[in-house]
Amino acid sequence: MSITLQNISKQFGDFKALDNINLDIPEGELVALLGPSGCGKTTLLRIIAGLEQADQGEVYLKGDNVTQQPVKNRQIGFVFQHYALFRHMTVFDNIAFGLRVKSHRDRPSEAIIRKKVHDLLNLVQLDWLHDRFPDQLSGGQRQRIALARALAVEPSVLLLDEPFGALDASVRKDLRLWLRHLHHELNVTSIFVTHDQEEAMEVSSQIVVLNHGRIEQKGTPSEIYDHPASDFVSRFIGQTNVFKLDDEEHFWLKQSGVIVDDSKGIVAHVRPHNIGVEKPVDQAKAPVYLKDWQHLGGTIRLELNRDGANGSGATIYAEMPNEQFRELALQKGDRVALRIKHAHWFN
């Protein structure tokens, strides 16, 4: 079911939590709502669900204006970070709950419920846990059961509010991929709230970046990463080096390969992987030295410092594959030459 939001605004007292949000989500998309804490993600999700009323604007589901419709008429499934399962019910009964409380007219027979719950348990790959209680599950298993429970009533829209927020890093990583694959299988229009850019990039087909209650940008993960529309998105979506084009930086950036004479702004953002690091031809003319480095799995992050620069912006980060770093055989303190391959410009 497609989702359309038109001119949605919401205030809490004097505070503008959402400011004129317009958004179209086609049927079957898995969209991440991404933004820092307090930017309005949950409020927007609650307005789509009907748990919260907007002060202004309309919500359309599959073209129908549902702004005044209560939650129960919207065919929406939820999974929240702390959306606790019923503790006194088994996994099976938790998933069956939504079907069993349907009105007599809509309620499937027990035999159909049984089949459906086992199908869902197979889908989330946890059928072997059907007679356990929630306390006997791991956090990751609990969230997968919460998802199966949300899917049991065949929602047309699935809303997930930081569903993996309380889990540790490795479980989170597994569940992201699992959710993505599950979505490929089911194709339910889904909105996934997160403040973790890596999670948004990994899971979703579209990312909506929110800041102070406004949409900063909407696009595919690569559009957002490679073509950030604003300074905010560029900083939020991944690590970036920020260079202000004053006289001092001007000279230095030019020397590092950035076209500064015809620049498209006054601030250049450069991703670490867009900085090439080489051994300098002339040590005396190389103002940058290697301060330290860290292993990030397949790549190395280099911490570089420029002579005379200090403060928090003094460090320049570059990244390169492990092998390339080994070949360079750099030591701490060695002088290096930088080659900036690409910059995003902002004003």
Ligand X SMILES: Nc1ncnc2c1ncn2[C@@H]1O[C@H](COP(=O)(O)OP(=O)(O)OP(=O)(O)O)[C@@H](O)[C@H]1O
Position among 12, 86, 128, 251 found at the interface with ligand X (CB under 6 A):
12
Of 40-48, 66-74, 115-123, 309-317, the segment contacting ligand X by CB under 6 A is 40-48
Of 30-38, 83-91, 251-259, 265-273, the segment contacting ligand X by CB under 6 A is 30-38
Nearest distance from residue 217's CB to ligand X, in Å?
Answer: 16
Position among 176, 195, 271, 306 found at the interface with ligand X (CB under 6 A):
195
Tokens for 132? 């356990």
Told to check if 39 binds ligand X by CB under 6 A, we report yes
17 vs 336, beta carbon nearer ligand X: 17
Position among 21, 40, 337, 340 found at the interface with ligand X (CB under 6 A):
40
Position among 8, 29, 35, 92 found at the interface with ligand X (CB under 6 A):
35
Told to check if 37 binds ligand X by CB under 6 A, we report yes
Of 35-43, 89-97, 120-128, 200-208, the segment contacting ligand X by CB under 6 A is 35-43
Position among 1, 5, 31, 41 found at the interface with ligand X (CB under 6 A):
41
Told to check if 43 binds ligand X by CB under 6 A, we report yes
Told to check if 42 binds ligand X by CB under 6 A, we report yes
Q: How many residues bind ligand X (CB under 6 A)?
A: 11
43 vs 141, beta carbon nearer ligand X: 43
Told to check if 50 binds ligand X by CB under 6 A, we report no
User: What residue ranges bind ligand X (CB under 6 A)?
Assistant: 12, 17, 35, 37-43, 195
